[in-house]
Structure 1
Amino acid sequence: MRLRAAFGRAGITARKHEGDGATPAGLLRLVRVLYRADRLKPPACSVPLEPIGPHDGWCDDASHPAYNKPVRLPCAARHEALWREDHVYDVIGVLDWNLAPAARGRGSAIFFHVATPDYAPTAGCVALALPDMLAALEAGLSAIMVPVPA
């Protein structure tokens, strides 16, 4: 399945590091899906599914023990809030980039999420329009192939 997607503002890289704004190249497996239950019904998918709430975040502080892991807010470490006013994180596919174990500085919070209406570049994630994302999940999406740059 080929769909229009937004990638990192710095393009795609084979040498991902924290804060570079690039999407890592390679096969990124879908580990689980998080969603805003106040905005959407649970999406059909083939991986574990969990609702998120206002106190959910993701640590992107390479010096913290929770680096590239979910955290509860407030959190003293640098993090991303998953509960956002925009709709970008209404559905979040957690991809297996740098998860087990997380190598400090190799990149964090590489998600599959909802694209902005204009497909603006992401901070390193892969983003699709919500209808495309939901259709891909329902079709059994288990991984995303991000091509190695030429």
Structure 2
Amino acid sequence: MRRITSPKQSVKTIVVRPAPGRKARAIVQVGPLRIPAAIGRSGRTSRKREGDGATPIAAMKVLSGFLRGDRLGQPKTALPLKRTRPSMLWCDASGHPSYNRLVQAPFAPSHEEMQRKDELYDLCLVLDWNVTSRRRNAGSAIFFHLIRPGYEPTAGCVAVSRPDMLRILPHMRRGTVVRVL
């Protein structure tokens, strides 16, 4: 595998290109490094809607992230990572005032658990899709997270393996752009 550049050098843009012939697979490019990834089960879309299973075609800044501290040590990164707790949830109920926001349990409206039983959100970066400027039903919880075995499709996120995530995290900063083509 090729190195990105210098371990201290950050990248401004990470490019996510569709993989040939497979709508739910992609190639993540970080500098000269190319990494296999999974995207939404419905492929990519320029008209993202809540629950459509598609990854938005967009340039999304990395805002922050979450770390499952009971499973992983602090990785080398300048990104702010918040340690997940069982009470942390992400609201995906489009009619709720906390839509596409971190909320605390107990919380009855539709949501995702941030401290999952599987490993998908052990390292999970929040992408600025419908976060800083929210629109009802425009999609929520678009994350850059860890992959399921076999690179199974996501619900609309971008996912890579844990070793690959740990390789690219040192090059990311708050504001690094993930551009899905």
Q: What residue number does 1:106 align with?
A: 138
From 131, 134, 139, give the equivalent of 2:171: 139
More divergent stretch after superposition (126-135 vs 37-46):
37-46
Q: Residue type of the partner of 1:15?
A: R
Q: What residue number does 2:123 align with?
A: 91
TM-score, scaled relative to structure 2: 0.78
Separation of aligned partners in 2, 1:101 and 1:73: 24
Q: What residue number does 1:64 align with?
A: 96
From 107, 120, 124, give the equivalent of 1:75: 107
5+ residue gaps, structure 1: none
1:33 matches 2:65: yes
Separation of aligned partners in 1, 2:76 and 2:134: 28
Provide the alpha-carbon RMSD of the alignment: 1.0
The structural deviation recorded for 1:56 is 0.5
Stretches of 4+ moved more than 4 A in 1?
none
Q: What residue number does 1:119 align with?
A: 151
Separation of aligned partners in 2, 1:75 and 1:143: 31
Report the 3-state secondary structure (helix = DSSP H, G, I; strand = E; otherwise coil) of the residue aligned with 2:89.
Answer: strand
Q: Which has the larger radius of gyration?
A: 2
1:18 matches 2:50: yes
Aligned residues: 147
5+ residue gaps, structure 2: 1-29
The structural deviation recorded for 1:46 is 2.4
**Percent identity of the aligned residues?**
46
More divergent stretch after superposition (43-52 vs 71-80):
43-52
Separation of aligned partners in 1, 2:120 and 2:95: 27
Report the 3-state secondary structure (helix = DSSP H, G, I; strand = E; otherwise coil) of the residue aligned with 1:32.
Answer: strand
Separation of aligned partners in 2, 1:102 and 1:145: 19
Deviations 1:21-42 (A, max 9, x none): 0000121211101110000011
The structural deviation recorded for 1:114 is 0.2
Q: Residue type of the partner of 2:87?
A: H
